[in-house]
Amino acid sequence: MTFELTHTDPMSDARAGTITTAHGQIQTPIFMPVGTCGSVKGVHFSELKEQVKAQIILGNTYHLYLRPGLDILKSAGGLHRFGGWDRPILTDSGGFQVFSLTGIRKLREEGCEFRSHIDGSKHIFTPENVMDTERVIGADIMMAFDECPPGQSDYSYAKKSLAMTQRWLDRCIKRFNETEPLYGYEQSLFPIVQGCTYKDLRSEAAKFVADKGADGNAIGGLAVGEPTETMYEMIEVVNGILPKDKPRYLMGVGTPQNILEAIERGVDMFDCVMPTRNGRNAMLFTYNGTMNMRNKKWEKDFSPIDPDGCEVDLVYTKAYLHHLFKAGELLAMQIASIHNLAFYLRLVSDARRHIMQGDFTKWKQGVIDNLGRRV
């Protein structure tokens, strides 16, 4: 994997670049739709390509390991061939999912023992077998196995957690270097910076990760309950240390406002379930703010969902989408998911264009307040 930094904003740390992988190029800044179990909920791959304009999607190691399982994925030739997606894929290590299984997991130096949320069966994730699992899945970008501590962890716990995450990272890198890709193309491993909301721990973690010389680096453990301003402060601390010539991935973030603020602070890659999850619950994101499509105000609004949006936004009206949600039709969730994902991709594409034009900061200031209001 390579990363070419092509433009920087003169008034901020915002940047535009190009990531090149075995399955194609990714123009940054980029938002990555979440395909937890090998699919983005309610959205065909053709719609992801043609309407959403997705350049890369995510798969999740924990969920794919449990179902369909490694035997099927390996027999299929990896997740790309299994699902038919021929563009880049990134896999989360499953750390966040495993550590969120409070009460049905045990954490120790070897790894994390947990019980499946599907059938209660017992499993263990270690840095080594997670690398092996991500090799089988075949993602272009693999994430290191880490502990994602609760956002409000006290300093003592956060420090111990970070120390273990760093030991696990060394084990991940060793295993990654000892093994070969399974399907004839190269894979990249991204370390993850943890440290909760403590500046000294975040700085230590960023320096530790930067010294590894990985193809790219991730920032984890944010947007997990801490104040928004604290999240932005931690991003600034970390990005002040991570190498400028490698892509920076902020995991699990977030709202359109969060994304623009993070781009301004030098982040290149994002993912979040919010566009699809909120879409399934009738919330649409637009440049004018958010719309609750169950509200009666849309009942007789026969204007397009978004006159500047993708195909579904122009084909369907607000009144029709309101009707679909009120009637409980599955098409409502599909339309809303496609709209929201397309909007997120349009947002980062517009940000990239303004970075290249040199007026990102002015543009961002002009749109960010409207993004958060309720229409």
Alpha helices, DSSP H, located in the chain: 45-47, 61-66, 70-76, 79-83, 95-99, 127-137, 155-178, 199-210, 228-239, 256-264, 274-280, 311-315, 318-327, 330-357, 360-371
Residue 141's pLDDT is 98
Q: Which domain holds residue 208?
A: 30-271
The answer to whether position 312 is within a domain reads no
**If you average pLDDT over residues 138-165, what whole number do you get?**
94
The percent of residues in the chain predicted with pLDDT above 70, rounded, is 100
Contact (CB, 8 A) for 259 and 348: yes
The answer to whether position 141 is within a domain reads yes
The answer to whether position 145 is within a domain reads yes
Helix (H) or strand (E) holding 249: strand 248-250
How far, in Å, CA of 342 to CA of 339, rounded?
A: 5
Sole residue written with tokens 């009707």? 323
pLDDT tens-digit series, residues 4-22: 999 999 999 999 999 999 9
Q: What is the CATH number of the domain that holds 182?
A: 3.20.20.105
- pLDDT mean across residues, the chain: 96
Q: Is 71 a catalytic residue?
A: no
- Burial label for 312, CB within 10 Å (0-12, 13-18, 19+), is buried
Say whether pLDDT at 275 is over 80. Answer: yes
pLDDT tens-digit series, residues 212-262: 999 999 999 998 889 999 999 999 999 999 999 999 999 999 999 999 999
Contact (CB, 8 A) for 337 and 43: yes
The answer to whether position 157 is within a domain reads yes
Say whether pLDDT at 199 is over 90. Answer: yes
Sole residue written with tokens 């309101």? 322
DSSP secondary structure of 140-195:
SEEEPP-----TT--HHHHHHHHHHHHHHHHHHHHHHHHS--SSSS--EEE-EE--
Residues flagged as binding site for substrate: 92-96, 146, 194, 221
Confidence bin at 317 (pLDDT 50/70/90): very high
The percent of residues in the chain predicted with pLDDT above 90, rounded, is 93
pLDDT tens-digit series, residues 112-131: 999 898 999 999 999 999 99
Choosing from 13, 92, 306, 313, which is the catalytic residue? 92
Residue 150's pLDDT is 82
Beta bridge partners of 291: 284
Q: Is 271 a catalytic residue?
A: yes
Going by the DSSP 8-state scheme, the letter that residue 51 receives in this structure is I
Say whether pLDDT at 103 is over 80. Answer: no
Residue 279's pLDDT is 98
The answer to whether position 35 is within a domain reads yes
Residue 95's pLDDT is 78
The answer to whether position 57 is within a domain reads yes
What's the total number of domains in the chain?
A: 1
Residue 323's pLDDT is 98
Distance of CA 90 to the CA centre of its chain: 9
Choosing from 9, 140, 271, 306, which is the catalytic residue? 271
Burial pattern 228-252, b for ≥16 Cβ within 10 A else e, equals: eeebbbbbbbbbebbbeebbbbbbb
Sole residue written with tokens 């990134």? 90
Quick check: helix, strand or coil at residue 26? strand
Beta bridge partners of 295: none
Contact (CB, 8 A) for 92 and 57: no
Farthest-apart Cα atoms in the chain, separation: 62
Residue 105's pLDDT is 81
The answer to whether position 279 is within a domain reads no
Say whether pLDDT at 106 is over 90. Answer: no
**If you average pLDDT over residues 30-42, what whole number do you get?**
96
The answer to whether position 280 is within a domain reads no
**If you average pLDDT over residues 86-92, what whole number do you get?**
97
